Amino acid sequence: MRGSRVSYVFPIYNETGNIDLLYRTVDEVVRGLPYEIELIFVNDGSRDDSLAKLRALAADDPRVKVLDFARNYGHQIAVTAGLDASTGDAVIIMDSDLQDPPRVSIDLLAKWEEGWDVVYAQRRSRKDTPFKKATAAAFYKGLRYMSEVDIPANTGDFRLLDRRVVDELSKYKERDRFLRGMVSFIGFDQTAVQFDRDERHSGESGYPLGKMITFATDGIMGFSTFPLKIISRIGFVAAAFSVVGIVYVLVMKLFVPQVVVAGWAFIVLSILLMGGLQLIMLGILGGYVGRIYRQVQQRPLYALRDERPSPVALVTPIA
């Protein structure tokens, strides 16, 4: 055996309808395994009674650890906190809505025992909306084209990481986190296990379109400077066209002054086009600048409620 201890990390955002079933399913799966198990639930500022459910589990089961965020910091930060708190020789990251079937973790562990350091669960099929499938496919294709790291297709964060990888990952202090990219970037021996992704058991997705776009941008800007290259190329092409335009206008003015150079439509269109392009380019630059700004602020990634001293301890006794 490669280790005796295995941790599971579950990010939790409004999963009240899933927690009990998740716990029971995982409990059943790990019962047959020869490892000491640790179940880490990270409550990412849920607005429902997820936390109460988790506390109840922790009260009955010493394997359960609950981390409670001071607010909603987002899925990637929640997973990061779980990894930081984990003590296992291997750590399994899983969604908490039962889209990632807990029994697949047995296959992940089997591969780990064979000597692999990262075993990602790769979706053979997924039951999501056609829109989500199409955008995800396009995004991963684009990302693979643009970035220097090879991020495997059809994988989420459902994966097993060996302790060595978790320790490496903890050295990465970037704020705008795209964990699956970071894991690919780190390296070690990585392999895949195929699985069929289920539907969300209960509740709603915590990834509305806005969050998905932010997440996709984190993936691209965190692992590629391709957008910067592209905007400078567009700039060169536009400059080349403008030289042609300048020559044309000057020649017409100097040598054929009797012809009135045609119209305002062209001027308006080119102003709009160039204006639009410039704004997009500024936005791309702004995206990188914002990332630099957040990074140099060096704020901690998250705050845990439990680590606050209790109010009693703050009261100074009157002498």
Interface with ligand UDP by CB under 6 A: which residues? 11-13, 15, 44, 72, 74-75, 78, 95-97, 99, 200, 205-207
Stretch that binds Mg ion, among 38-46, 143-151, 192-200, 275-283 (CB under 5 A): 192-200
Size of the site for Mg ion (CB under 5 A): 4
- Choice from 16, 99, 105, 122 touching Mg ion (CB under 5 A): 99
Which is closer to ligand UDP, CB of 155 or CB of 278?
Answer: 155
Which is closer to ligand UDP, CB of 133 or CB of 291?
Answer: 133
Minimum Å gap between C-beta 85 and Mg ion is 22
Minimum Å gap between C-beta 273 and ligand UDP is 36
- Choice from 97, 117, 168, 218 touching Mg ion (CB under 5 A): 97
Which is closer to Mg ion, CB of 97 or CB of 176?
Answer: 97
Minimum Å gap between C-beta 87 and ligand UDP is 21
Minimum Å gap between C-beta 268 and Mg ion is 47
Which is closer to ligand UDP, CB of 75 or CB of 177?
Answer: 75
DSSP per-residue string spanning the chain? ---SEEEEEEEESS-HHHHHHHHHHHHHHHHTSSSEEEEEEEE-S-SSTHHHHHHHHHHH-TTEEEEEBSS---HHHHHHHHHHH---SEEEE--SSSSS-TTHHHHHHHHHHTT-SEEEEEEEEE-S-HHHHHHHHHHHHHHHHH-SS-PPTTEEEEEEEEHHHHHHHTT---SS--HHHHHHHH-SSEEEEEEEE----SS--S--HHHHHHHHHHHHHHH--HHHHHHHHHHHHHHHHHHHHHHHHHHHHHH-TTSPPP-HHHHHHHHHHHHHHHHHHHHHHHHHHHHHHHHHHT--S--BGGGSPPHHHHSPPP-
Q: Which residue is nearest to ligand UDP (CB)?
A: 206
Binding site for Mg ion (CB under 5 A): 95, 97, 99, 200
